[in-house]
Amino acid sequence: MATRAPIAPPQVQARLLAVFACVAGIAGCVNSAQTRVKGFDEARSTMSQLEAALKPQRWALVIGIDAYRDPTFRGLEHAAEDARSIAAVFKDPDAGAFDRVVTLTAPEQTTREAILFELSRLRFDLRRQDTFVFYFSGHGTVEFTSDGVPILYLVAADTRASDLWGTGIEVGALRAFVNELKPQRKVMILDNCFAGQGKSRISAVTRERLAQTPDPWPTLREAMAQSEAILMASTLGGIAQEDDQIGQSVYTYYLIDALTTDRLEADTNRDGALTAYEAHDYARGRTVEHTGGTQIPEAFFRVLGRAEIFLSGTPNPDAAASAALVYAYGSDAQLAFSLEIDGRPKGNFPRTLPVDPGVHQVAIRNQQGEVVSSGPLKFAPGQAYSVKVLLEELEGYRRFFGLETGPALQLLGPAREVWGPETMRLGLVSGYRVRGGFLRGLALSFSLGWNPAYSGIWVDLTDQDLRHLVDFGFRLVLRRPVHQFQVGAGWQANAVYTPPVLANADADPSIEQRQYLHTWLNVQQGPVFWQAYALDRHLLLTLEQRLSWFGGDFQDSLGRAPNLQLALSLGVEVGF
């Protein structure tokens, strides 16, 4: 397979838009039968017309390609039927109830130029409140850049294997164009594969190389729009199959079932409407069962707030708000997990599972049935939770409180003369720990400490000469788990208040009478190293080392000099 340098997205989009402009007639490339006359219509200002104009609509572009001009891509038997069948479901008022469905199955309709032309026409009619679905059934293929990065293509009827970039439809560029369309809700359904088997065509060498390359889907997933779904008939290295017995592609066959005869079963949250992820969940399970696990559909979703993507029916707001949803899709490690609620199995991922609102005892298990994480969680009605978020919630606590004690050793400086070579500290700690995201494990804590210190130069070692040092400070530590242990490192700053003490004239002949010695406030800072052993999910045994540097101007006779202190603390931390 030929290699090619990576194409920058702006260049790809510019090339696509140039083709769109040509086929739309901007450069005079289209005959008059494809143009429309602009003029005045009779004014209609009734309320019904206004409501009809503002009503959200569902639009679909459906493509199925059986015949290919390049013999490299063998003909398919059921791709065109896939398109016709799902288009009929989209149009059915009792199923999809789509307002407009454009179906392309004939050879002259499924060339690259014809497909891009239909996309260009749609972008002028779609509005933000609409839903747009792009469906494709046919061949997929792949080529590699000079850096070994795979570029995925949908194969049009006139695509040439020798010039994929010029004649194929590059998936990344297509997604970039779809993202620019006005509708807030968008769905791409791709019933093809890129593995060189089934509904795909690549060489054995390319197939082997593809198996050794990184998954390109994360890059595509990062560019997903606000409310978008990508439904795929197979994983990147998997296959998409046609079945002569059912007369269709397997994934499309069960996707249609979800939208029609089995809609009640596929409607997970029982709200009367079928979302893109509910339809995919049903089709995925049936496809895996039908093919004996040889075909595994995959999906990516990004849905913000309540901008759900409905493919069939109208949701009942009351029913939709009555359940919380837990989901996992894509190539995350959590896909092999299963969910257990209040001791009862709820289901396996990837899919979306409904959970009754309220507080439940949650357990997440791996493929071996071992509990990965468990604990109580509160679910809000109508809210969606990813398994990743649940794991972060179950992983540990946010707020914590602790007790600590240990020696502070004065290694260098006049502090040794003022406080003595060592003091024993008792402290309280309270803080907050980040549980998820980029700053996962970062803990900010505040401490309040007390320790007694004897001044050995100016006063004698009697009870009245005991100095009660008070300190207050903060620590910022990045923590990471290592099996049952946790380790961390960070920075700390501490202010130490040294109160006055009444000196004894008997201890120092130069003092003629009892008097107060000076008050000092020293600000210390330096690195902190932290280790912990988990006695329980919310109880840690901690060990901490703090190295502090600070300047000191304790007394004229001692002068101003830097001080170095090493503090060791053993303690317990309780999370809540």
- Given a cut of 60, whether residue 398 has pLDDT beyond it is yes
Which tens digits make up the pLDDT trace of 89-98? 999 998 999 9
Torsional class of 12: left (φ above 0), alpha (ψ -120 to 50), beta (otherwise): alpha
Of 8-17, 185-194, 210-219, 411-420, the one with minimum mean pLDDT is 8-17
> What are phi and psi for residue 404, nearest 5 degrees?
-145, 150
**What is the distance between the alpha carbons of residues 464 and 467, in angstroms, rounded to a whole number?**
8
Which tens digits make up the pLDDT trace of 508-519? 555 444 444 567
What are the DSSP calls for 81-144, one per residue? HHHHHHHHHHH-TTTT--SEEEEE-SGGGSSHHHHHHHHHHHHHH--TT-EEEEEEES-EEEEE
pLDDT > 70 fraction of the chain, expressed in percent and rounded: 73
Nearest partner of 527 among 548, 542, 544, 552, judged by Cα: 548
**What is the distance between the alpha carbons of residues 528 and 246, in angstroms, rounded to a whole number?**
66
Q: Is 405 helix (H, G, I), strand (E, B) or coil?
A: strand
Domains plus CATH for the chain?
11-31+55-252 (3.40.50.1460), 335-394 (no CATH), 399-575 (2.40.160.20)
Which tens digits make up the pLDDT trace of 172-184? 889 888 888 888 8
**What is the distance between the alpha carbons of residues 455 and 424, in angstroms, rounded to a whole number?**
14
Which tens digits make up the pLDDT trace of 316-359? 666 555 678 888 876 555 567 888 988 888 878 877 788 888 88
- Given a cut of 70, whether residue 285 has pLDDT beyond it is yes
**What is the distance between the alpha carbons of residues 45 and 377, in angstroms, rounded to a whole number?**
52
H or E stretch covering 262:
none
Using pLDDT thresholds of 50, 70 and 90, give the confidence band for residue 421. confident
At residue 447, the pLDDT reads: 96
**What is the distance between the alpha carbons of residues 304 and 306, in angstroms, rounded to a whole number?**
6
**What is the distance between the alpha carbons of residues 187 and 311, in angstroms, rounded to a whole number?**
9
With a CB cutoff of 8 Å and minimum separation 6, the contacts of 352 are 268, 277, 278, 281, 325, 326, 327, 384
Which tens digits make up the pLDDT trace of 101-125? 999 999 999 999 999 999 988 888 8
**What is the distance between the alpha carbons of residues 311 and 294, in angstroms, rounded to a whole number?**
27
- Given a cut of 90, whether residue 377 has pLDDT beyond it is no
pLDDT > 90 fraction of the chain, expressed in percent and rounded: 31
Q: Is 546 helix (H, G, I), strand (E, B) or coil?
A: strand
- Given a cut of 60, whether residue 221 has pLDDT beyond it is no
Which tens digits make up the pLDDT trace of 515-536? 445 677 888 999 999 999 988 7
- For residues 185 and 28, the answer to whether their CB atoms sit within 8 Å is no
